Amino acid sequence: MKPGSQRMDSTFSGLLDKREAQGRRRRLTLPPPGAVDFSSNSYLSLADSPELKRHYLALLQSSGDGDGPRFSLGSGGSRLLDGNTAFTEALERRIAAFHGAPAGLLFNSGFDANAGLFGCAPQPGDAVVYDELIHASVHDGMKLGRAQKVPFTHNTVHAADAEGGTESLSAVLDRLCQGSQGESFRNGSRNIFVAVEGVYSMDGDVAPLRDIVACVRERLPRGNGHIIVDEAHSTGIIGPRGRGLVCHLGLEDQIWVRVHTFGKAMGCAGAIVLCSPISRAYLINYARSLIYTTALGYPSLAAIQITPARADPPRARHPDEPVPAAPDPAAHPARCPLGAGVAHRPAVHGVGARARRVLPAARLPATTDCGADGADGHGSGAAVPACGQYR
């Protein structure tokens, strides 16, 4: 052991003990064999779909010849070096067209996308106004950025709806625009970015996006209010063919940037920032999480390519209908004895009152022998819908 290692281990042990005492220590675990998975983000179970696997293997095979695949397993570098390919750029164009966006830029993960975007887009003198329950990746991106950061009460647009001393979105915007310090926002010389999620994973509720758009347009009539929607948990779940909340509401022209990820309902990995061509070029030049990392390899891109573009998916939800969540740990409908093959560890995302339980769509029949009666709100058990590539 190197000198000083024992000292650091002692420091870390103390911090871990503190977190243990608070009931907040995290551990890597393995599910017991045969257990029912209540905690996966693969909401539609596409990650385990035999049909998607066949599409994926066929795509890999079609890219090879008789002696094996011609593609490389890895990209070999960042997008700005030799990690860029015609396949990557064509995939970006197809996904952008699918979502009705002018352009798109792929990132290795949703975390990288948000960290890169919020770390470089807001300029000095700008402000980022964000929902208080926004994802940790946005917080890390804002820490890298140079703009002031102001939260607003979760899903609360107007002051009359705010609770406990917190501010609504409209109240925050009004305050930022007041006085001499707010002159740059009033005259449009500085920008305000409003960051929300389409669906919030902890509570399972949906952003009041139409009201947010109306509020931003009213308070910032000079066009210097820019809404960013993280569609990580609405991709594949809401909207026509799973396009997300923005497309469902027809607000494509009102939202500055959308972030769609492929590691949740889509069942693979990666993310894309949907934006204008100029914004795409800016991110290529300034987003550090894109510039200084190895790009996605062909096998990862192929998995994104075969993500199903589903016509009227039976599991897509209306945005006014809350995505099922069980904040009360005792409220979950799965009343399973330990002998039923269900993991005893709590299947939750998060800690405390907002802990969430999820029953992936294709894992269980409508009513199982352990009493889990469609905990995801749509009984599942149906076959995965017919799959196709982005088109």
Structural domains of the chain sorted by starting position, each given as residue range(s) with its CATH number in brackets:
72-305 (3.40.640.10)
For 234-251, what is the mean pLDDT?
A: 95
| pLDDT-derived band at 324, boundaries 50, 70, 90 | very low
Mean pLDDT score across all residues of the chain? 82
| pLDDT-derived band at 162, boundaries 50, 70, 90 | low
| pLDDT-derived band at 1, boundaries 50, 70, 90 | low
| pLDDT-derived band at 318, boundaries 50, 70, 90 | low
Judged by average pLDDT, the poorest of 14-23, 157-166, 199-208, 266-275 is 157-166
**How far lies 367's CA from each of 153, 336, 363, 373, 383, in Å?**
38, 12, 11, 5, 15
Judged by average pLDDT, the poorest of 45-49, 178-182, 249-253 is 45-49
For 309-338, what is the mean pLDDT?
A: 43
64 DSSP β-pair partners: 69
Q: Output the pLDDT for position 201.
A: 87
For 346-367, what is the mean pLDDT?
A: 46
Q: Output the pLDDT for position 72.
A: 85
Is 90 exceeded by the pLDDT of residue 213?
A: yes
In contact, 184 and 125? CB cutoff 8 Å: yes
Q: Output the pLDDT for position 102.
A: 98
Is 80 exceeded by the pLDDT of residue 14?
A: yes
CA distance 118 to 343: 38
Is 60 exceeded by the pLDDT of residue 335?
A: no
Q: Output the pLDDT for position 389.
A: 55
- Look at residues 234, 152, 253, 232 and name the one whose alpha carbon lies nearest to residue 193: 152
Q: Output the pLDDT for position 175.
A: 96
Region for 126 from its dihedrals, namely left if φ exceeds 0, alpha if ψ lies in -120 to 50, beta otherwise:
beta
Percentage of the chain modeled with pLDDT above 70:
75
Residue 129 corresponds to which tokens in the numbers above? 């106004």
Over the stretch 53-95, which tens digit does the pLDDT of each residue have?
998 999 898 886 555 556 788 999 999 998 999 999 999 999 9
Residue appearing with tokens 């998060």: 350
| pLDDT-derived band at 173, boundaries 50, 70, 90 | very high
Residue 165 has phi, psi (to 5 degrees) of 90, -5
- Look at residues 54, 182, 68, 85 and name the one whose alpha carbon lies nearest to residue 125: 182
Residue 103 corresponds to which tokens in the numbers above? 């352009």
Over the stretch 105-141, which tens digit does the pLDDT of each residue have?
999 999 999 999 999 999 999 999 999 999 999 999 9
Over the stretch 246-297, which tens digit does the pLDDT of each residue have?
999 999 999 999 999 999 999 999 999 999 999 999 999 999 999 999 999 9
Is 60 exceeded by the pLDDT of residue 177?
A: yes
